[in-house]
Amino acid sequence: MKLVVAEKPSVGRDIARVLDCRERGEGFVKNDQYVITWAVGHLVSLCEPDEMDENYKKWRMETLPMLPEHIPTKVLPKTKKQFTVIKKWLNDKSIDSVICATDAGREGELIFRLIYEQAGCKKPVERLWISSMTDEAIREGFDTLKPSSEYEGLYRSAKCRSVADWLVGMNASRAFTLRFNVLLSIGRVQTPTLAILVRRYHEIADFKPEEYYTLTCSFGDYQGTWFDEKVKEEKLASRIKTRAAADAVAQRVKGRDGRVESISREEKRELAPQLYDLTSLQRDANSKLGFTADKTLKITQELYEKWKAVTYPRTDSRYLPMDMLPRVKQTLTKLPMEYQEAVKNIPWKDGKLPFSKRVFDNAKVSDHHAIIPTPQTAPVDKLPADARKIYDLIARRTVAAFYPPMVYEAVKIVTQVDMDKFKTTGRIIKDLGWKQVYGGEKADEVLPELAENDLRKVQKTSVKKEATKPPAPHTDASLLAAMENAGRELKDEELREQMKGSGLGTPATRAAIIERLVQVGYAMRKGRAIHATEKGVRLIAIAPDEVASPETTGRWELALHEIAENRRDTVRFMEGIRRLSAFLVEYAKTTDKQGDFPAEEKRYGKGGKRKGTASAKQLADCACPLCGKPVMESARAFGCSAWREGCRFTLWKDGLTRGGGPVLNDKIVQLLLKNKQVAGSTGTLTLTQDTLSFVHKDGSGGASVPIRYEKKNG
């Protein structure tokens, strides 16, 4: 028999249904050929420092840097039961080989390999690699299983990423927290992303608006804007520095005859936008719908897994492989009825789709192709409203990709009044092309029939006061673009394509990184805008470029990309990460920079004394786990009411936020003290006699803090 390991129960059940496995057991489904079991995200993770060495339990500068040659792994307590099920089957004598059916990407590969290694399994492994969850795609995937060896580079990349984040995050967060007496979270990708927000914060704060004036003249049936032909940059050419100068021009042209000096017409084409990868979909959904990157990812993942309506979402490719041409035709013809008129108007050639290298290019398809609808007609009437909106974006983009460009005529008229010149622009649409998929385009700007040397009298002048504007705050859309391009603002799509692999994070992780910055208090949302907070600005002020520079981190990401493609050695990469971790600790120890963090961020009072509890209130039905006395809540922490008698039980409200954990509130603490474990939407909290720990829902990262308050020395 073959054992199939999926990443989550819902995917496991889908595979079991396709393979006709009906015999159900605890955590698995089987028939006489296959046993289907599943993880629940990450079941195995890297150990916390104090789980490796008791000396690391207390945060002390003298124990840093922590640079173990090998970081052991552990089975996560909350999912130990399911790990035991998988381990039993991995080592069962009836199982001849294993099929890895976790998510077809870097993290999915890591999830399976950690389970496989932790279970001590040595059986041969094949890889199910699919880009759609339809029944047809699953069957085809099982007919074309790949040797696990083909994904060795992907696993090495995932493992290097995991260990690198542990080394940099654990060492830098402890070192900077101890040095600046403030709980600080430093991350290999998180911190340079924050630096992008802080850079924009300073650009806005330092911006000094400059006033200028524009002059518009009415020539009766059209208007023109004054411009200086000596100024080459178009947006600067129409600016007049002072009101007096603008009024002087208006006065000298008023009532005078203008002569049409030139009329230029240029045919232009606007190509259809390329298919979506995850980042471009998230950017569009943010710009058009106001969705955060995280919301778009979750909705698209549900469209993929639950509704089988779109292909694999966590992709960085905007192309399709050549052999998908016939299948895409089937996909388009099976789209819901509301898209069929647009499908019919595609310029089919003898019943075949038009071929375009902007759509089909084997060389530009990565692990997964672009996001498109599946050939399975989506039940649009059953989709939740927001899922319907995301599906609509994907469906229309897919149809539009096969349309011709929009063709229009750009018209420019220059009218001269004595020595002054006025510019009039407009456009005439010749062919809507792909724009018709989106309901057309705004009406043409109507211009009169004119010929060169025609005369038109200046009938009216208007001087308008304007001012230069600061850069706009980042949104999810612009921040995703900056992350993808390692902080560079690239508008050219071709250049953006070349930068792939050297950005910050991956399409699958960028949304979580943005949410993490908000969660730990380094960023905040105001409407659609994302701003750096004062704490975030202070952190970047003290952080060295080695961990804060987007460009530097982009090079680390490129190295991981090359490891996945078997083009780079892992040993040199990890040596570099260890040097970086040691450098960050030494930097924290020796820097003379002053953090000057807001007072409310300080974890300790003057001289290391615990802050008072004048405003503390008692938690109902909660006993201290160390001495049994009542538990109190203050502004910053939960602690034992007997602290004056020496009980040191303390849970800082923000103690776990460095690892992405929640800010503790009274309800969470009451449940923890009662049940010792609380599972939330983002992960699980576990309280022991010594520590409070948090593990993310997918098993990645997390944090652990002591529950006994210790005075700081000195």
Sheet holding 703-706, edge to edge: 677-679, 683-687, 691-696, 703-706
Q: Across residues 612-635, what is the average pLDDT?
A: 76
Closest CA to 603 of 167, 10, 59, 227: 59
Q: How far apart are the first and last CA of the chain?
A: 64
pLDDT at res. 688: 87
pLDDT at res. 604: 34
CA 346 to chain CA centroid, Å, is: 33
Tell me the two tokens of residue 242: 């002072």
* Residue 278 DSSP code: H
Q: How confident is the model at residue 161 (pLDDT cuts 50, 70, 90)?
A: very high
pLDDT at res. 705: 85
Catalytic one among 312, 319, 391, 403? 312
What structural domains and CATH numbers belong to the chain? Answer: 2-144 (3.40.50.140), 161-206+506-599 (1.10.460.10), 211-270+406-467 (2.70.20.10), 278-400 (1.10.290.10), 608-706 (no CATH)
Q: Across residues 180-190, what is the average pLDDT?
A: 91
pLDDT at res. 366: 77
pLDDT at res. 440: 77
pLDDT-wise least confident of 114-128, 328-342, 491-505, 658-672: 491-505
587 is a catalytic site residue: no
Residue 664 in this model has a pLDDT that exceeds 60: yes
Alpha-carbon gap, residue 417 to 635, rounded angstroms: 71
Residues 665-704: b if buried by 16+ CB within 10 A, e if exposed: eeebbbbbbeeeebeeebbbbbbeeebbbbbbebbbbbbb
Closest CA to 276 of 126, 424, 392: 392
Q: Across residues 107-123, what is the average pLDDT?
A: 97
Percent of the chain past pLDDT 70, that is, above it, reads 93
CA 306 to chain CA centroid, Å, is: 22
Q: Across residues 655-667, what is the average pLDDT?
A: 80
Q: How confident is the model at residue 605 (pLDDT cuts 50, 70, 90)?
A: very low
Residue 531 in this model has a pLDDT that exceeds 80: yes
The vertex-706 CA angle with 703 and 710, nearest 5°, equals: 135
pLDDT at res. 429: 93
Residue 712 in this model has a pLDDT that exceeds 70: no
pLDDT-wise least confident of 72-81, 258-267, 627-636: 627-636
CB 159 within 8 A of CB 151: no
pLDDT-wise least confident of 170-184, 199-213, 430-444: 430-444
pLDDT-wise least confident of 117-131, 330-344, 632-646: 632-646
When the pLDDT of each residue in the chain is averaged and rounded to a whole number, the result is 91
Residues 6+ apart with CB under 8 A from 617: 632, 633
What beta strand segments (E) does 533-636 contain? 617-623, 630-633
- pLDDT tens for 358-406 read 999 998 887 899 999 999 888 889 999 999 999 999 999 999 999 999 9
Residue 599 in this model has a pLDDT that exceeds 70: no
